[in-house]
Copies of this chain bind each other. A is one copy, B any other.
Amino acid sequence: MKVIEGGVTAAKGFTAASCAAGIKYKDRTDMAFVFSKKPCTCAGTFTSNVVKAACVQWDQKIVYSGDPMHGVVINSGIANACTGKEGFDACEATAKAVEKTLGVPFNTVAVASTGVIGMQLPVDKLVAGVENMSKTLDDSIDAGTAASKAIMTTDTVNKEIAVTFEIGGKEITLGGMSKGSGMIHPNMCTMLAFLTTDISIDKALLQEAVSEVVKDSFNMITVDGDTSTNDTLLIMANGESGNEIIKDKTDEYSTFKEALSYVCTFLAKKMAADGEGASKLFEAKVVNAKSKDDARTLSRAIVGSNLSKAAIFGCDANFGRFLCAMGYSGADFDQNDVELFFESTNGRLKVFDKGTPIVFDEDEALKIMKADAVTVFVDMHEGKEEATAWGCDLTYDYVKINADYRS
């Protein structure tokens, strides 16, 4: 597997466009469009929030129906959640605009939104945006990068990646982009992610691969514990690489899943590090847990705790907060089995040894915690399972960003 330049337009047959539709922002692009002329096998995972945005319900219908997908239209101004019937009409109007401009059935066009909840979308601006973007679809790397920028909200950097790998002598490309910065918490963490690939694969297998990979990538990041109404991950596979279709869990399937895992983990970590107001990436690695579920639960609790996040911001080696978060996570364990370390590129320091605190050198701890990425490493000594979760620190800027988000 090789990492290459690009994102959603890296795979054969995928084009992208973006435009400034004036939905929320005045000085920047706020709509994006990813399109494949060839119909795609599609799969997706969606928010577990019972209050689902209109667009989530729209996309679920396409993904679950077995119909192919030709593309997705995204806006980053208004979430289209809590918007009643008018919200559904906006989804349909968007998809029908694509049917009109590009001749594909409207029920093969997904829509995605992110932004303010509880406001209605300006349908005329959406439709104008679709008309504009349909004329400028382009398979260049730049077009993909521009799309990844158009879907940003409070993100400070765009997030895209592409990889290639070989299956049965054919070069396969898998690329993607994502956005997500606030309202981020597992299942699905609040985020939009769009992946494109030219592989040929059975729909059920594609869904299974995505559902499994998400568990250890996107669902292992948290910024603020708020699971959004709009979380959506869509993957479209148009088969243009010409590989023989993958129908079983063969070695080829494993190769694809490995690449998918790499891409999803890359995008997930990038989102965690770009959490609203974040000054650093905060990683928790739990090893030797009783079960995989315990390992995931414990590592997510550590990076999800406001008190832990504030300590990471302050470079305060207040390790009791991490043990405390593990304690209320829901996983059962004995504190007398636990070892806890702080790690970064600046060093590694044990601070808690099976029930007893270790007197450690505060200067050394400070040096470790001042790095751009800090890991809390926990050995449970109770089993063989492990998991890693990613988050960020809690800063003044998080509060500032969210105290007046609408204005």
- A116: B residues at CB distance < 8 A: 318, 320
Contact (Cβ within 8 A) B399 A82: no
Partner-B contacts on A (CB < 8 A): 48-52, 79, 81-86, 116-120, 182-183, 185, 224-229, 305-307, 310-311, 313-314, 316, 318-321, 323-328, 331-333, 335-336, 351-352, 355-357, 394-396, 398-400, 402-407
Q: Considering residues A117, A182, A226, A324, which has the most beta carbons from chain B within 10 angstroms of its beta carbon?
A: A324
The answer to whether A399 and B399 touch (CB under 8 A), given A118-B352, A318-B116, is yes
Say whether B399 contacts A320, CB under 8 Å: no
Give this chain's copy count: 2
Report the Cα distance A327→B52, complex, angstroms: 8
Complexed CA–CA distance, A306 and B102 (Å): 42
With a CB–CB cut-off of 8 A, which chain B residues contact A226?
305-307, 321, 324-325, 328
- Flag if A117 contacts B318 (CB, 8 Å): yes
Q: Which of B52, B84, B356 contacts A356 (CB 8 A)?
A: B84
The 6 closest A-B pairs by CB, nearest first: A117-B320, A314-B403, A51-B327, A310-B402, A118-B320, A227-B328
Query: Chain B residues near A324 (CB, 8 Å)?
Result: 49, 51, 81, 117, 183, 226-229
List of B residues within 8 angstroms of A48 by Cβ = 328
User: Given A316-B404, A396-B400, A399-B313, A356–B323 Cβ distance below 8 Å?
Assistant: no
Complex contacts, A82 vs chain B, CB 8 Å: 319-320, 323, 335, 352, 355-357
Q: Which residue of B lies closest to A329 (CB)?
A: B50
Whether B79 lies near A320 (C-beta < 8 A) is yes
Given A82-B357, A118-B357, A310-B398, 14 other A-B residues pairs in contact with their CB atoms under 8 A: A50-B335, A51-B335, A82-B320, A82-B355, A82-B356, A116-B320, A117-B320, A117-B321, A185-B328, A224-B306, A306-B402, A316-B406, A318-B406, A394-B399
